[in-house]
């Protein structure tokens, strides 16, 4: 049930339940022990001058015989009265003027001693109570000359105060109980989850994200708690990614600084050697100039690789994707690379399918991938020569696998996933100036992934770079 419906029902119950409880209680009282009192109260509403009060007092006097209390009540109500038993006067404070006023008001009825009546006429009230069984008769008269006591309540006022007070007590008690019950309900279903959210927000503000919020409620509060926890997980992921990026950025800056410092230090040393006359022969000068040129080419390669890596990583590389026969491309490309890298003592062998295998790729960027892989092989080999195998084969999942294998020292198993990180060389001390820029494999990964492929590394008699590209639709399994 939604919170909105709960609040609506709560307000309805706050009104209906107390009224129903009060109504049931009043009905039970009227139909039970309070029936006679209720009837008396109804008659009291019709007694404007206290006639019914006087009649009730005289009836009570007949039952109890308490003259003192009755006299006090009758005087307060503004009545004089007379009581006779067996024709003899037991008590009377009626005056001649009272009797005259009564006879004037009701006439011959005053002399009718057999009836019970209460008559008000011309501001004079006459009340007659007759109990024939006990030969008991009482007559009460009120005239304008008989004062009533101020602040004295009549029976009617007493009954009204009693019943109204009782009803108010029931209503106030019912409303209080309902408020307590509804407050507990709202506290359990709304305030408690809000407190949980407040505590969680304080934890997040303090940087604590390793907690979990759960709720099995199906209302808006449950949705809010689950949404808050989803936000917490997303924030935690963002923080972790930011920390990883910050670490990556620091390593990138350190790597760039190192790779710039090494050739610049070399250039500075050779320039100082030329300036100080250390290179004092034409042969030495030529050697120094060649070393300076080599270092400058290294700087150019580093800047070029950084530019390419930045362009690819930021998505600014615009690939010229086109259908390409991968078999033909690799066969011709390996031949061209063999001719170019012969001077570096590299031997390239291919293991390719006999049929055409068509993929969508950018030939220019794939050339860069193969060159970077060959340069990486040369930089990390431990012998003077390198044997490289480029193999391709279709897979069952609609992709083609390209394996670039060398006979170098390989990489530690725990570092296989790290070699595609920028500036990774497998040498934490980074003391080898000839290790290259450490960007080549990072560029390889970015370029392959941008063409819809994937890449990972293995050890198999050397380092194996495994690349996968999707086959052109309709080319799967020789289609």
Residue pLDDT, tens place only, 343-370: 999 999 999 999 999 999 999 889 989 9
Torsion of CA 424, 426, 431, 433, to 10 degrees: -60
User: Alpha helix locations (H) across 276-359?
Assistant: 282-313, 326-341
The stretch 264-275 carries a mean pLDDT of: 88
pLDDT, one tens digit per residue, over 131-184 is: 888 788 999 998 888 887 755 555 555 666 677 778 778 877 887 787 777 777
Cβ density class 68-86: b for 16+ within 10 Å, e for less: eebbebbbbbbbbbbbbbe
Question: DSSP class of residue 286?
Answer: H
Phi, then psi, of 425 in degrees rounded to 5: -130, 0
pLDDT, one tens digit per residue, over 27-69 is: 787 677 666 665 555 544 545 546 777 878 888 888 878 888 8
Residue closest to 448 by CA, chosen among 347, 373, 351, 342: 373
- 6 is written with which tokens? 């709960």
Residue closest to 53 by CA, chosen among 153, 164, 134, 162: 153
Handedness of CA 330, 336, 341, 345 (dihedral sign): positive
Residue 282 has pLDDT above 60, yes or no: yes
Residue closest to 298 by CA, chosen among 271, 259, 270: 259
Residue keyed to tokens 């293995």? 458
Asked if CATH classification 3.30.565.10 holds for the domain at 319-478, the reply, yes or no, is: yes
The stretch 440-455 carries a mean pLDDT of: 88
The band of 453, judged by pLDDT with boundaries at 50, 70 and 90, is: very high
Residues of the chain with CATH 1.10.287.130: 220-308
Q: Do residues 155 and 79 lie in contact, with contact meaning Cβ atoms separated by under 8 Å?
A: no
Give the pLDDT of residue 54: 80
> Distance between CA atoms of 102 and 126, rounded to whole angstroms?
6
With a pLDDT cut of 90, the percent of the chain lying above it is 19
Residue 428 has pLDDT above 50, yes or no: no
Residue 301 has pLDDT above 80, yes or no: no
pLDDT, one tens digit per residue, over 384-413 is: 999 999 999 998 888 999 999 999 988 888
> Distance between CA atoms of 61 and 59, rounded to whole angstroms?
5
Give the pLDDT of residue 423: 62
The band of 475, judged by pLDDT with boundaries at 50, 70 and 90, is: low
The reply to whether the predicted model has a pTM over 0.85 is no
The band of 315, judged by pLDDT with boundaries at 50, 70 and 90, is: low
Q: Do residues 463 and 292 lie in contact, with contact meaning Cβ atoms separated by under 8 Å?
A: no
Q: What CA–CA distances, in Å, run from 127 to 53, 77, 154, 444?
A: 10, 13, 16, 119
Residues of the chain with CATH 3.30.565.10: 319-478
The stretch 108-117 carries a mean pLDDT of: 84
The stretch 108-125 carries a mean pLDDT of: 82
- 359 is written with which tokens? 């993929």
User: Alpha helix locations (H) across 133-219?
Assistant: 155-186, 192-205
pLDDT, one tens digit per residue, over 2-15 is: 665 666 677 677 77
Helices and strands in the chain: count of H runs, count of E runs:
12, 12
Asked if CATH classification 1.10.287.130 holds for the domain at 220-308, the reply, yes or no, is: yes
């Amino acid at each position: 049930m939604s919170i909105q419906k709960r609040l609506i029902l709560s307000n309805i119950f706050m009104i209906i339940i107390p009224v129903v409880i009060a109504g049931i209680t009043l009905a039970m009282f009227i139909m039970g022990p309070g029936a006679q009192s209720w009837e008396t109260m109804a008659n009291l509403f019709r007694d404007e001058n206290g006639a019914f009060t006087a009649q009730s007092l005289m009836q009570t006097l007949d039952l109890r015989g308490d003259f003192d209390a009755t006299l006090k009540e009758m005087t307060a109500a503004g009545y004089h009265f007379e009581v006779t038993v067996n024709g003899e006067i037991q008590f009377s404070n009626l005056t001649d003027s009272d009797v005259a006023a009564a006879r004037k008001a009701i006439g011959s009825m005053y002399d009718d001693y057999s009836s019970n009546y209460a008559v008000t006429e011309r501001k004079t009230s006459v009340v007659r109570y007759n109990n024939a069984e006990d030969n008991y008769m009482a007559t009460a008269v009120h005239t304008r000359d008989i004062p009533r006591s101020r602040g004295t309540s009549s029976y009617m006022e007493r009954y009204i105060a009693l019943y109204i007070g009782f009803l108010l007590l029931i209503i106030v008690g019912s409303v209080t109980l309902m408020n307590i019950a509804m407050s507990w309900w709202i506290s359990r279903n709304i305030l408690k989850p809000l407190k949980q959210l407040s505590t969680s927000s304080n934890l997040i503000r303090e940087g604590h994200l390793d907690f979990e919020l759960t709720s099995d409620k199906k209302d808006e509060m449950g949705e809010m708690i689950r949404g808050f926890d989803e936000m917490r997980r997303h924030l935690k992921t963002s923080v972790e990614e930011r920390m990883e990026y910050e670490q990556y950025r620091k390593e990138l800056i350190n790597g760039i600084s190192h790779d710039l410092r090494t050739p610049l230090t070399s250039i500075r040393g050779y320039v100082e050697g030329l300036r100080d006359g250390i290179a004092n022969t034409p042969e030495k000068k030529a050697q120094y100039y060649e070393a300076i040129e080599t270092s400058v080419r290294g700087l150019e390669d580093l800047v070029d690789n950084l530019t390419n890596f930045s362009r690819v990583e930021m998505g600014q590389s615009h690939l010229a994707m086109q259908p390409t026969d991968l078999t033909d491309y690799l066969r011709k490309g390996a031949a061209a690379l063999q001719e170019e890298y012969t001077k570096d003592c590299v031997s390239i062998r291919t293991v390719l399918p006999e049929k055409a295998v068509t993929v969508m790729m950018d030939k220019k960027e794939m050339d860069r991938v193969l060159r970077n892989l060959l340069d990486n092989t040369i930089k990390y080999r431990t012998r003077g020569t390198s044997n490289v195998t480029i193999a391709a084969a279709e897979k069952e999942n609609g992709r083609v696998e390209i394996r670039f294998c060398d006979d170098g020292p390989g990489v530690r198993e725990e570092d296989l996933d790290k070699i595609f990180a920028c500036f990774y060389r497998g040498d934490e001390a980074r003391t080898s100036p000839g290790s290259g820029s450490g960007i080549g494999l990072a560029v390889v990964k970015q370029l392959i992934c941008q063409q819809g492929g994937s890449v990972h590394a293995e050890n198999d008699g050397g380092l194996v770079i495994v690349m996968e590209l999707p086959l052109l639709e309709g080319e799967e399994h020789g289609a």
